[in-house]
Amino acid sequence: MSSSIIRPRYGGSKVRSGCVTCKARRVKCDEGRPTCQRCFKAKRTCEGYAPPPSASTSGGGLRKFIVYLASAPVDGLSLLPGITTRQQRSFNFFRLRTAAELAGPFGADLWSTILLRTAHDESCIFNAVVALGALHENFGYSRDAHETHSDYALTHYQKAIQRITTLRDTDLTLHTDILLMMCIVFSAFDSLRGQYKASLMHIASGIKILVEADKRLGGLKDGSLQKDIFLPIFVRMENQITDVGQTSAVVNTTRLIQPPILSIPRAFKSIDEAQITYDSSLSYIWNMLARTEKLPATPPLQPENHEYEGLAKWLDPLDPAHEKFDYFTCQTPPIHGTSMPERFSSWCAAFDASDFPPSHPAVQILQTNRAMLSLLFGADTTKGEMLWDSYLPQFQSLLDYVESSPLSGYRNSPGQKYAPPTFHYHLGLLTPLYFVCTRCRDPLTRRRALRLIENCNRKEGIWDTLVCTRLSKQVMEVEEGAAIEAMSRSSMCSKPGGWVVERAEQIPEDCRVSECIMKFGAEREGLVRYRRGGVWYVVDDG
């Protein structure tokens, strides 16, 4: 009978530290938090750090670290020990609903992964996530964000602010990533409750922190969260601030981000790459404009309908006396050897060559925004506002794109009185719809766009349905009111039932609004400023 031979096991004990992903791959982990660099550079999902098997073998000093992924939810209220049931409920709501809704159809590791992991180690992030989750849960039961309130959410919001103060008192340079996360979450929180100016200031703070980090480090490092995650988000939000005319609210910080001029490939590998390159190109446009404009401070606000004499020349971006230019037709020497229309054409060619499913919501959003930029680049804005009348088919086509998107809320169930509110933090539909409302003067098409805005019930960063509707209606009422007054003056007799605008050409150039912005106040009030006939007007929208 042969005896079995027991071979001795050589080597030391197994390494029990490191993230779950690295241990499964049998590679050495650098144990970075919230994401280990090996997983981040390999573009793998870092699954976090498993708790020790027992207190007797762990040495008693390790902190339990559990990871939540929005794409693979874990049930149960005992996953976060030491917190209340109410806190767990709000945290779970953020994990299961808020993160997915904010990310939308685009990939967004910040919402679905990074924030959730960091919340287990940093109390300020945990409080901020609980606050946003609690507020967002209330938002789902409201018709709009202005009905959204939660004392519980505000309590955790204030706790997060207090703990940030403690964080700042330790070592700011080591906590830049956490501060940037807080700026983004706070901006979303204040936007959700209708505090637009506060939301803008959080974005401005994040931009300032990112710019300071860039200067301190001599450039953001490749593979870092600051460059790969935070920079694209703040570029996108900075673009939106400029889109909606809110640069004066953050005048000392906005347009300071200088994203790299990304090369445009023959075809995009992913929808996220197409979005990031689109945002970079749009930022390139605004930065080119900012380099050539030397605008004075915002003029003092006056009572309703007060005329600013001579202000048109003072603020006109086409004024040759200030060496400005029409950035839509790019009548200046190109920067980096490529004019803006050429760069946009390259983006369109790459987008067309990409193998994207046409019905994907993110593709439909990009198509809609592409249609808007195509109109802007194709129009010679030096010819005034009347030129837009010839683009009616393009406006209608843009609205077709929006109506075909499931994100528009266009097709509600028959018994549904209003679309449920949605909250997003990505490129969206409101800016193109607002563009149609303010540039298309055909009364039927304009009202079709306005109905889409009212029906979609969306928040997109600092944009939302309510603000977009107010500005769109303001422009329409001002223009059509001035046109009707002009028709009444020019006619020898009155029209039965009163004069109405039936065609775009009935609104002459001097009745058309060339620019309209809302200046947000400390609370929810605002002032609407619009320019018509070369003169600025102010309307109290409080």
Residues 255-292 pLDDT 10s: 455 555 667 899 999 998 899 888 887 777 666 655 54
- pLDDT for position 513: 93
Looking at per-residue pLDDT, the higher value among 138 and 391 belongs to 391
- pLDDT for position 75: 38
Q: pLDDT confidence of 315, banded at 50, 70, 90?
A: very low
- Rounded to an integer, the average pLDDT of 470-476 is 92
3-class secondary-structure state, position 197: helix
CATH of the structural domain 20-58, one choice from 3.30.110, 1.10.286, 3.30.70, 4.10.240: 4.10.240
Are the CB atoms for 432 and 111 separated by under 8 Å? no
Looking at per-residue pLDDT, the higher value among 194 and 66 belongs to 194
β-bridge pairing 526-532 and 422-424: unpaired
**pLDDT for residue 69 is more than 50:** no
Tokens of 28: 């050495």
- pLDDT for position 154: 92
Are the CB atoms for 430 and 463 separated by under 8 Å? yes
Tokens of 518: 């809302």
pLDDT above 90 covers what percent of the chain? 26
428 DSSP β-pair partners: none
Residues 124-133 pLDDT 10s: 999 999 999 9
**pLDDT for residue 25 is more than 70:** yes
Residues 415-471 pLDDT 10s: 555 566 788 888 788 989 999 999 999 999 999 999 999 888 888 888 888 888 988
Round to whole Å and give the CA distance between 80 and 84: 9
Tokens of 461: 């960063």
**pLDDT for residue 506 is more than 90:** yes
Eight-state DSSP code of residue 69 = B
Looking at per-residue pLDDT, the higher value among 513 and 542 belongs to 513
Q: In sequence order, what are the residues at sequence separation of 6 or more whose Cβ sits closer than 8 angstroms to the Cβ of residue 527? A: 301, 518, 519, 521, 538, 539, 540, 541, 542
User: Where, residue-wise, is CATH 4.10.240 in the chain?
Assistant: 20-58
